[in-house]
Amino acid sequence: MAASAIRFGPGVTREVGMDFSNMGVKYVCIVTDATVRQLPVLKTVEDALSREGISFDVFDKVRIEPKDSSIKEAIAFARPRGFDAFLAVGGGSVIDTAKLMNLYTEYPEADLLDFVNAPLGKGRPVDKKLKPLVAVPTTAGTGSETTGTAIFDLLDKKAKTGVAHRNLKPTLGLCDPLNTRTMPAAVKASSGLDVLCHALESWTAIPYNERTPRPANPILRPAYQGANPISDVFSLHALKQTVNYLPRTIRDPDDSEAQSEMLLASTLAGIGFGNAGVHLCHGMSYPISGQNPGYKHAGYEVTGPIIPHGVSVAVSAPAVFRFTAPSNPERHLAAAEAFGVDTSNVKRESAGEVLADALSRFLDDLGDQPKNLRGLGFGAEHIDMLVEGTIPQERVLMLAPGLAKELERERDQLRSLFEYALDR
């Protein structure tokens, strides 16, 4: 079990200068995006560093839903400057970009694909200790402040991929509810849906003692190990909190309790999935985002088409958990109970339908979310490409209960899932 150190509470952002001073850091790279650059949190961290006499430069060109091109630009900024540490201030895109800046500055000769997950990349293990990285999340969604995963779009493959290794984990996550107050409702919703799927997927992933092959050396042990007794505690609690508080954060921007609880749920889900892993919702989401036919989600300040990550994972969720339920009906019924379903008289063989229905109702009640893949602009003609874009996501698919190992059977299963998600 591995996770970053976490400090949670209103105002903890102001302590970041002292944290870096305590680490002996002199020169920090602040990583953010153009929107967050204009928010009060940036002045808070700059003032905190200045009070401790710590020098810094700001990289504010992080792309929301990063592409390999934007990651390369960020790495090129960091490599020649000799930073002692990195400070990520923003959502998951910012934190993931900072992780990769930290990684590739430590390996100055490495090509981007060297550490990218196989089979899209070479899957090289991270065998060095990286520079300190402090993450200050401004969204309640990715849980990236706790995990060793960094995701981006590999444009020539039309699929998301990334790097996953425990050494990428931030040194410290400063989870300050004051920093999530500026999230627009659309961002709260899509970020919260990511928390929902993190919790559900890690709760229902294959058990840790069934994941194969066993690593020959601990350094080769993957970050995603399968559901285990420790991750279960975090995942189930985060699921219940999300069901209770996500609708409140969207309906009332002044509900500080709900916003604080969602930030905590995001962090706890990050600890859960950062060790257990995610599976089909995320595996299918990567080509959904990467092959976007032109959908632009309302409420996002971007110039081009975008399917927010939380939307791309949630749109397949009813199909996924209907499919995975036979592997462990009891877990799927426990998840349905988190949505308020009375399962006392539900038969085990109905667990998938019951959970899928509960999920569909929850998503519909949130409002302003596409109901299915067709709502994102996809049609039947896109399904084969979506299937082919999912198959390379071995890192997460290996944790999917019930998914065939034989390729043609796996294709058939994925095709059925996408067809169900097309018009649910």
Q: Which CATH number fits domain 185-423: 1.20.810.10, 1.20.1090.10, 1.10.1740.10, 3.40.50.2300?
A: 1.20.1090.10
Residue 245: pLDDT band (50, 70, 90) is very high
> Can you give the length of the chain in residues?
424
Would you state the pLDDT for residue 215? 86
- Listed in sequence order, the residues at least 6 apart from 134 whose beta carbon sits closer than 8 Å to its beta carbon are 16, 19, 20, 85, 86, 87, 88, 170, 171, 172, 173, 174
The model scores a pTM over 0.75: yes
Going by DSSP bridges, is the β-strand pair 172-175/133-137 parallel, antiparallel, or unpaired? parallel
Round to whole Å and give the CA distance between 108 and 103.
9
Residue 334 predicted with pLDDT over 90 = yes
Per-residue pLDDT tens for 258-315? 999 999 999 999 999 999 999 999 999 999 998 999 999 988 878 889 999 999 999 9
Confidence of residue 424 (pLDDT cuts 50, 70, 90): confident
Residue 182 predicted with pLDDT over 90: no
| CATH class assigned to 5-180 | alpha beta
Locate the domains of the chain by residue range: 5-180, 185-423
Mean pLDDT on 157-182: 91
Cα 320 to Cα 314: distance, rounded to the nearest angstrom: 10
| pLDDT tens, residue by residue, 389-416 | 999 998 899 999 999 999 999 999 999 9
Question: pLDDT digits over 14-67, tens only?
Answer: 999 999 999 999 999 999 999 999 999 999 999 999 999 999 999 999 998 899
The CA distances from residue 162 to 28, 252, 308, in Å, are: 24, 35, 17
Q: Can you read off the two tokens belonging to residue 137?
A: 């999340």
pLDDT tens track for 196-219: 999 999 999 999 999 888 889 887
Q: What is the pLDDT of residue 261?
A: 98
Q: Which of 183, 84, 187 is nearest to 134 (CA)?
A: 84
Report d(CA 364, CA 143) in Å as an integer.
24
